[in-house]
Structure 1
Amino acid sequence: MELKDKVVVVTGGASGIGAAMARRFAREGARAVVVADRHAGQAAELAAAIGAEAAGVDVTVEAELLRLIDDTEARHGAIDLFCSNAGITARGGPELPDSDWQRVMAVNLMAHVHAARALLPRMLARGGGYLLQTASAAGLLSQFDAPYAVSKHAAVAFAEWLSISYGGRGIGVSCLCPGGVDTPLLDAETPERRALMAEGIVSADAVAQAVVDGLREERFLILPQDFIREQMQRKAADPERWLRGMRRWQGALEG
């Protein structure tokens, strides 16, 4: 998929990976880029700087996602590429209250489901469209906080299901799974976590480049760092050994 002359929506688009993608899509010549974010002011600032549009959207509210899609298509025509990119975390594991788990799942998984629910009938009716779902290396390798890892695993599974179910019917699906990225989400990490991830941290702009390359090749898994694929291969080849290694890594993380 080439971005030139396309209509693109990016949720979580006001900062981090989303902002980098929006900037890059604009430079690639997209006909319209919509920067959607719950931080409407931030989204508007970025949109003004890159010649895009902004929309204040809470992706946990299905009606707001539907309004975003309807408004975009009313102004610009069919959405060619929808990037479900918003993501959050909650620090901890099963001891966290249900409200924390539900909040993370609402953003990291159900927002993807609701966007697909609205877009798939339209894309199928016109014979094509593309869904980019931002997950994480944690969705492949179970790293860091439990709600984050579990929700991102689910996001990967949903993207796989979409590709299996609709990939033969004109719908492109890619799943972006970066490791450590220099974004506000990483800024919230402890110094110990940042130190352990330092070797693999890449810039948000590098991730945006990987996305453009992956979309051009219509690759399902977009992995900005080589170590992710290597770890996936180790996990598949010898799960027990891989788990032992991950326990050692987790021990170092916890100090």
Structure 2
Amino acid sequence: MNGRYEGRVALVTGAASGLGRATARRLAAEGARVACLDLLADDAGLGPVGLAIAVDVRDEAGVAEAVDRAVDWGGGIDLVVTAAGVASFGHTTDVALAEWDRLLAVNLTGTFLTARAALPHLRARQGALVTVASLAGVRGYRYSAAYSAAKGGVVALTRALAVEYALTGVRVTCVCPGSIDTALTRNLTPVPGADPRLLAHGRALVDPPVSQPEEIAAAIAYLGSPEARFATGAVLRMDGGAGA
């Protein structure tokens, strides 16, 4: 593992599990100190190079406080990864307004609040922001009106921020995974009465058709590193050919 992040400080939301945890561990393996944000305080097993902060990314004041705490701990922030997310799928006519609100609040508003709080600190260090969207945010996806709307919003937000902050030295990019082998994916409730033809739509073409979180974390580590200097505004699909 190279030392691309030696002397750097990262902040990762959703770091207690799944992709967020894999990303925090990947960045630490490359030399970073990592502030790990999640609903429950969990340093992703990083020990002295990790800081566990409990926060709900929907909480405006809580997010601002968490970012400030991470800055005080690390002396600044060089990379922010917004990996906190929730998902559910179902027939659009069955989606309750409360569920619509929950998916947008965590996936989109949480990304916005984290970015807004962190951007002044990233600007001070000419750092990078990597957002996590989804294949569902860049192409039609079955039974996912709310989730797709939220993740599509993350993609649009990423591009807007990339343009707005390009001249400040802050880079903003997005990774769009397909299916990832995480507890979040495994615990999704099947859609009642789902059409098999739609379930086959958007499946990965590679074998096995599901990625490991460490594979996506490797892409995030690249996008957040100086090696990706020319990638600002990029939206990287990691979907095994499902969207090809």
The amino acid across from 2:31 in the alignment is G
Q: Conserved in 1, the CA contact under 8 Å of 2:108 and 2:154?
A: yes
Which consecutive unaligned segments of at least 5 residues does structure 1 have?
231-255
Could you tell me whether the CA contact under 8 Å between 1:10 and 1:22 is conserved in 2? yes
* Equivalent pair of 1:55/1:68 in contact (CA under 8 Å): yes
1:10 matched to which residue of 2? 12
Q: Which has the higher helix share?
A: 1
Alignment-derived partner of residue 67 in structure 2: 69
What letter is aligned with 2:241? F
Q: Is the 8 A contact 2:139 2:243 kept in 1?
A: no
The correspondence of residues 231-242 of structure 1 with structure 2, limited to 5 A, is none
CA RMSD of aligned residues (A): 2.5
- Quick check: 2:129–2:171 contact (8 Å CA) kept in 1? yes
AA aligned to 2:118 is L
- In structure 2, the CA distance between the partners of 1:4 and 1:224, relative to structure 1 (3 Å rule), is farther
- Decide which of 193, 209, 215 is 1:206's aligned counterpart: 215
Alpha-carbon deviations, 1:78-130, whole Å to 9, x = none?
A: 11111111010233224322211111101110111112222223333x26121
Match of 2:235 in 1: 221
Query: What is the number of residues matched between the two proteins?
Result: 225
- More contact order relative to length (CA 8 Å, sep ≥ 6): 2
Contact 1:22 1:33 in 2 (8 A): yes
Equivalent position amino acid for 1:172 in 2? R
The answer to whether the 8 A contact 2:15-2:38 is kept is yes
**Letter matched to residue 79 of structure 2:** L
TM-score, scaled to structure 2: 0.83
* Structure 2, gaps ≥5 residues long: none
8 A contact 1:186–1:194 mirrored in 2: no
Q: Which residue of 2 is the match for residue 184 of structure 1? A: 183
Q: Which structure 2 residues correspond to residues 1-255 of structure 1 after superposition, within 5 A?
A: 2-30=4-32, 32-40=33-41, 43-44=42-43, 46-48=45-47, 51-92=49-90, 93-124=92-123, 126=124, 128-144=126-142, 145-189=144-188, 190=190, 199-215=208-224, 216-218=227-229, 219=231, 220-228=234-242, 230=244
Q: Distance in 2 between matches of 1:94 and 1:153?
A: 20
Identity of aligned residues (%): 30
Aligned to 1:233: none
Change in 2 beyond 3 A, CA 1:194/1:77: farther
Structure-2 separation of matches of 1:2 and 1:147: 37
